[in-house]
Amino acid sequence: MSNPFSYIFSCLFVLLAHSTMLFNVYFNGSYTDEHQVFVIAAAVIGLDIVYFFLMLFFRQHTYNVDFMLILILNMSNIFQSCFGAVEFDHRHYITSLAALLASRVGYHVCRNHKWIQKQKVFIWIGIGLLAAVIFAFTGSRSMWITFEKFSIQPSEFMKILLILACATSITEQQNKHTVLGFSIVWENVILFFIAAGICLLQWWCRDLGSIPTFMAIYAAGFLLRICYPKAKFSRKTLFIAAGAVLLAGLVALHFAPDYVRARVFVNIWDDTEGDGFQQSRALIAIAEGGWFGKGPGKGALSGVFAHDSDIVFASVCEEWGLLFALMSVLMILILLSAPLFNPPRSYYHGTMAAGVCAAFTAQMALNIFGSCNLIPFTGVTIPFISTGGSSMAASGFMAGMLIAAQSPEFHKPGKKKTTKSKPGSSTKTAAGRSAKTASKSGTRSKTKKKPASSGRRAAV
């Protein structure tokens, strides 16, 4: 560890932030048994200390993403344990541990750009297999695979594969082929059809709210292709791409299900018991919470469906205040801005970090603006803050991608093989080299003296 003082300061900052939240729960929270507060405090502070100790064994260039990740995850554990009443939410705590484990897996899988680029075809195959699993096991146009005690949302893991598909094909931009007057990179065509197929799959699953997230990931990869050296995208190609996106949006709106079009044009205050139920209750909760909130466990939004996932921003605003809700969003933005402090060292890592930032930003915007009735309600979660095992695991893996972008692995060039020489041969070769250099210097000196001698003979 290069700077132990910054490490200790970061540890103290995270502990202070969580301790302040726990003191607020103890003095202002709504609970009947103090034991629940102590359980939450022990779980949160204990996880902080254990993770700080484990970080000492992480071989990385920087640890800012790790500190921000543990800060946000334990903030989320405190939030989820206080909605409606102060009681330790062990299920969300387990998914937080899964997110931390997934971040380490994502870091080790994505740090070596040469290795992961060789797996490009397998990433494409993985997208196809995951799509087949969704078709086969989610039931009648659903987005969930349900088991006895839990359920999985496979589309969350599709985000990881799409980011890797965009990142692993970024270096192929100079392999162009002319077709009908257009310069085409075949991998860009393949990637376009992959992104379009994923969006169609989400439409089939009635998960239209996640389509903007996949479009944001693909858009980030496309923009970095434009910025790639000697990519030289023509204006004609860019205008055609923009027109295709606009046309696809209009077609999607025309063929959207009735409930989607109803959400787009609904007035929530005229239909507070129907399509506008969740958004109207969310706005009321945000207004009642004010800047500093009612207090942990004192919110009424906990009786509304998806209060801890799809409208979690409004739930945090009601109990903790709009100021604290905005601060929690700011923490996620700081985590995403980590590549700005320590820029990625390859186009692969840069594209991967841009895809993660695009996915997280799109999800936060859809959740927050949907809760505030600025856009139609989409049902998208906020990374790390909302509950949900699939979302937490996928978000943790993508956080590991950010860590890999800051601490990449580059193999050192191998040492040249040296042949063993016989004793005495080194002296002979050295003598031969010195003789060659002496002969070369002698010839150079002779050639330099020739013009002088010719001049003297002319003078005589």
Question: Alpha-carbon distance 151 to 136, whole Å?
Answer: 15
Q: Are 316 and 324 in contact (CB under 8 A)?
A: yes
- Residue 102 identity (one-letter amino acid): A
Tens of pLDDT, residue by residue over 340-394, are 777 777 788 888 999 999 999 999 999 999 888 888 777 788 999 999 889 999 9
DSSP 70-127: HHHHHHHHHHHTTSSS----HHHHHHHHHHHHHHHHHHHHHS-HHHHHHTHHHHHHHH
Q: Which helix (H) or strand (E) holds 184?
A: strand 182-184
Tens of pLDDT, residue by residue over 97-154, are 999 999 999 999 998 888 888 888 999 999 999 998 888 877 666 777 877 777 888 8
Contacts of 324 (CB under 8 A, 6+ apart): 292, 293, 316
Question: Alpha-carbon distance 153 to 134, whole Å?
Answer: 9
Question: Alpha-carbon distance 436 to 419, whole Å?
Answer: 23
CA 194 to chain centre: 19
Domain assignments of the chain as residue spans, ordered by start: 4-406
Q: Position of tokens 């949160």?
A: 44
Q: Spell out the per-residue pLDDT of the chain, length 460, in tens.
A: 567 888 899 999 999 999 999 999 999 988 888 899 999 999 999 999 999 999 988 888 888 899 999 999 999 999 999 998 899 999 999 999 999 999 999 999 998 888 888 888 999 999 999 998 888 877 666 777 877 777 888 889 999 999 999 888 777 766 766 666 666 777 888 888 999 899 888 888 877 788 899 999 998 888 887 776 655 555 666 677 777 777 777 776 666 666 666 666 667 787 778 777 888 899 999 999 999 999 999 988 988 888 888 899 999 999 999 999 999 999 999 999 887 777 777 788 888 999 999 999 999 999 999 888 888 777 788 999 999 889 999 999 999 999 998 877 665 545 544 444 445 544 444 445 555 544 545 544 444 444 444 443 333 3
Q: Are 178 and 184 in contact (CB under 8 A)?
A: yes
- Can you give the pTM of this predicted structure? 0.83
Position 137 scores a pLDDT of 79
Q: Which two tokens stand for residue 233?
A: 């995208």
Question: Alpha-carbon distance 376 to 244, whole Å?
Answer: 23
